[in-house]
Structure 1
Amino acid sequence: MLSVRDLTAGYGAVTALDGVSFDAAEGEITAVLGANGAGKSTLLRTISGLVRPSRGSVTLAGLDLGTVPVEGMAAVGLAHVPEGRGVITELTVEENLRLGALGRGGRVGAADLERAYSLFPILAQRYRASAHVLSGGERQMLVIARALLARPRVLLLDEPSLGLAPRIVVQIFELVQTLVRADGLTVVLVEQNARSALSIANRGVVLNLGRVVVSDEAAALAGNERLRHAYLGF
């Protein structure tokens, strides 16, 4: 579904990605792992067009994303949930959700909202509440639900567990698995918590200083003790 080839990008004189290549198969979770500064977030930002590469390509179901403007990514089936739980605090929960459909140029129907609320029951309870009163976990759920309103084929998730209580992390990871199984969604998951990410992923890509160290099935990466100690911290 998503193919990254020889992707090189950076910020000024700093190269953050150096020839990164991997594939994310349809209906699977691909975990992108590595230490701070490995280039994980830059990879997602480059895939979604927020950073333009100096070399390489990204294709989504055969479409060259290099030809798509940033504001057109949602319309072609790509949704990006950046690190930081960026809700618009002045709006209500439901108003935040409705923004998710703008990129695909569609109206939000009752079925769209019912689907979001069935996946995230806490949001249904607080749909009229201002987003600024939500907890960190609730905000993370809201930004994921908002991205799903765009009806993506590929979802880029950047550090969804950051700063959250373990039980909330479990809920979010279980939800990601549900979306993949039920909807055939393709997920590229950037995570510092490598152990948890590999437990739900089909494949993993390990980055170090902007380069791919290894790309393999998640179970193989989790079982490689030398690799885990050297790059994944467990």
Structure 2
Amino acid sequence: MFDVRDLTTSYGPVRALDGVSFTAREGEVTAVLGANGAGKTTLLRTASGLVRAERGQVRLDGRDVTRAPAEDMARLGLAHVPEGRGVITELTVEENLRLGGLHRPARARRADVERICGLFPVLGERYDATAHVLSGGERQMLVIGRALMAAPKVLLLDEPSLGLAPRIVTQIFDLLRSLVASEGLTVVLVEQNARSALSIADVGVVLNLGKVVVQDEAAALAADEKLRHAYLGF
């Protein structure tokens, strides 16, 4: 479903990605792991068109999207939730959600708003509230819900657990797992919390200094004590 081949990205003289290749299989969670500075966020930003690749290819459902503009990605089936819970605080929960589905027919948007509020009941409770009153966990749910409004085939998530209480993290990860199981969503999850990410992932990709160290089944990575200590911090 989502295939990266020899992806190379530089910021001036600094090479942030150096020939990165991996495949995220349809209907699975692929966790991208590594220390700060490993290239995880740059990988998602390059894959979603926010940063131009120097070399390599990104394929989405068999289609080359390497040079596609970021604003076209939602129509092509790719949704990216960057780190930082970027809600528009002046808008209501409903308005934030509707922004995520602007390219879709009005009837589909109405149905999807109801579906998202069913997935995240707290958003239904705060439906008419402006986003600035939401807690950090509620904002994270809102940005994920807004991304799902685009009906993506592939969802890129950058550090969704950052700064959240463990209970909220568990709730969000459980929801991701259920979406993968029930809807066949493909998730690429960048996470600093490697233990939690591997607990819900099917496959793990470990980056170090812009290069892939290993790609393997999540259970195998979690069981590899030497690799965990060297690259994953647990």
What TM-score range do you get, normalising by the shorter chain?
Answer: over 0.9
The 2-side partners of 1:91 and 1:61 are apart by 33
Correspondence for 2:155: 155
The 2-side partners of 1:199 and 1:66 are apart by 30
The 2-side partners of 1:228 and 1:137 are apart by 28
| Cα shift at 1:78 | 0.1
Contact 2:101 2:109 in 1 (8 A): no
The 2-side partners of 1:221 and 1:119 are apart by 30
Correspondence for 2:90: 90
The 2-side partners of 1:221 and 1:23 are apart by 16
Correspondence for 1:66: 66
Correspondence for 2:110: 110
Between the two proteins, the alignment pairs up a number of residues equal to 233
Gaps of at least 5 residues in structure 2 are: none
Contact 2:109 2:149 in 1 (8 A): no
| Cα shift at 1:106 | 3.2
Instruction: Write the deviation string for residues 27-68 of structure 1: whole angstroms up to 9, x where unpaired.
Output: 000000000000000000000000111110000011111242
Q: Does 1:36 align with 2:18?
A: no
Correspondence for 1:214: 214
The 2-side partners of 1:190 and 1:67 are apart by 22
SS, match of residue 151 in structure 2: coil
Instruction: Write the deviation string for residues 174-216 of structure 1: whole angstroms up to 9, x where unpaired.
Output: 0000110111000000000000000000000000000000000
The alignment's TM-score, normalised by the length of structure 2, stands at 0.98
Identity %: 74
Instruction: Write the deviation string for residues 143-188 of structure 1: whole angstroms up to 9, x where unpaired.
Output: 0000000000000000000000000000000000011011100000
The alignment's TM-score, normalised by the length of structure 1, stands at 0.98
The 2-side partners of 1:233 and 1:191 are apart by 12
| Cα shift at 1:111 | 1.5
The 2-side partners of 1:160 and 1:109 are apart by 24
The 1-side partners of 2:200 and 2:10 are apart by 30
Gaps of at least 5 residues in structure 1 are: none
The 1-side partners of 2:56 and 2:110 are apart by 41
Q: 1:47-196 maps to which residues of 2 (within 5 A)?
A: 47-102=47-102, 104-107=103-106, 109-196=109-196
| Cα shift at 1:105 | 4.2
Q: Does 1:2 align with 2:2?
A: yes
SS, match of residue 20 in structure 2: strand
Letter in 2 for 1:215: Q
The 1-side partners of 2:67 and 2:209 are apart by 27
The 2-side partners of 1:45 and 1:174 are apart by 25
The CA RMSD over aligned residues, in Å, is 0.8
The 2-side partners of 1:65 and 1:130 are apart by 35
Letter in 2 for 1:33: L
Instruction: Write the deviation string for residues 119-144 of structure 1: whole angstroms up to 9, x where unpaired.
Output: 00000000000100000000000000
Instruction: Write the deviation string for residues 93-133 of structure 1: whole angstroms up to 9, x where unpaired.
Output: 0000000012x343253311110011000000000001000
Q: Does 1:231 align with 2:225?
A: no
